[in-house]
Structure 1
Amino acid sequence: MKQATFSAYKNFEHLADIIGFFDEGFEFYIHVDKKSKVPKAVLEKIRERKNVKILSQKYRVNWGGLNHLKSALFLADKALKESDNQYFHLISGQDFPIKNMSQFKTITNSSILKDYLEYFELPTENWANENGGFDRIQYYHLLDTLNAKKHIKRLWWFVRLQKKFSFKRTIKSKVPKLYGGSTWWSLSRETLQYVIDYTDKRPYLIKRLKYTFCPEEIYFQTVIMNSDFAKKVINDNLRYIDWENNRIGKYNASPAVLSIADFEKIIVSEKLFARKFEAPISDNLKAKLLKNKS
Structure 2
Amino acid sequence: MFGRIAVSEPLKNAILITAYKNFDQLVELIRCFDLDEDFNIYIHIDKRKRPDKVVTQKIESFSNVRLVSFKYSVNWGGLNYLKSYLHLSSEALKDQKNTYFHLITAQDFPASPISEFRKLLDCSEQKDYMINQRIPNKNWKGGGMERIEYFHFYDTFDVKEGGEKWISRLVKIQKSVRLRRAFPKKNPALYGGSTYWTLTRPTLQFVVNQANGDSRLIRRMKHTFCPEEMYFQTVIMNSKYAANVENSNLRYIDWSSGRGGYPAVLDSRDFEEIVSSKSLFARKLDSPTSNSLKLMLKDRLNK
Q: Same fold (TM over 0.5)?
A: yes
Q: Does 1:286 align with 2:294?
A: yes
* CA shift for structure 1 position 14: 1.0
Cα distance in 1 for partners of 2:257, 2:202 equals 37
Letter in 1 for 2:267: S
DSSP 3-state at the match of 2:105? coil
Letter in 1 for 2:94: K
TM-score (norm 2): 0.93
Q: Does 1:205 align with 2:217?
A: yes
Equivalent residue in structure 1 for 2:233, among 221, 239, 247 = 221
Residue 278 of structure 2 is matched in structure 1 by 270
* CA shift for structure 1 position 288: 1.2
- Percent identity between matched residues is 48
Cα distance in 2 for partners of 1:140, 1:241 equals 29
Cα distance in 2 for partners of 1:13, 1:27 equals 19
Residue 238 of structure 1 is matched in structure 2 by 250
Residue 46 of structure 2 is matched in structure 1 by 33
* CA shift for structure 1 position 68: 0.3
Residue 261 of structure 1 is matched in structure 2 by 269
Please give the root-mean-square deviation of Cα atoms over the aligned residues, in Å: 0.9
* CA shift for structure 1 position 37: 4.1
DSSP 3-state at the match of 1:90? strand
Instruction: Structure 1: give runs of 5+ residues left out of the alignment.
Output: none
Q: Does 1:147 align with 2:155?
A: no
Cα distance in 2 for partners of 1:292, 1:230 equals 33
Residue 30 of structure 2 is matched in structure 1 by 19
Cα distance in 2 for partners of 1:172, 1:293 equals 47
Answer whether contact 2:266 2:289 (CA < 8 A) is retained: yes
Q: Does 1:176 align with 2:188?
A: yes
Cα distance in 2 for partners of 1:80, 1:15 equals 22
Offset from partner CA, 1:66-91 (integer Å, 9 cap, x none)? 00000000010000000110110000
DSSP 3-state at the match of 1:126? coil
Cα distance in 1 for partners of 2:219, 2:203 equals 21
Cα distance in 2 for partners of 1:190, 1:48 equals 30
Instruction: Structure 2: give runs of 5+ residues left out of the alignment.
Output: 1-10
* CA shift for structure 1 position 174: 2.3
Alignment of 1:84-99 (within 5 A): 84-99=97-112
Residue 8 of structure 1 is matched in structure 2 by 18
DSSP 3-state at the match of 1:82? coil
Letter in 2 for 1:51: N
Cα distance in 2 for partners of 1:144, 1:93 equals 21
Moved over 3 A (4+): none
Letter in 2 for 1:218: M
TM-score (norm 1): 0.96
DSSP 3-state at the match of 1:91? strand
Cα distance in 1 for partners of 2:299, 2:164 equals 40
Residue 176 of structure 2 is matched in structure 1 by 164
Alignment of 1:185-204 (within 5 A): 185-204=197-216
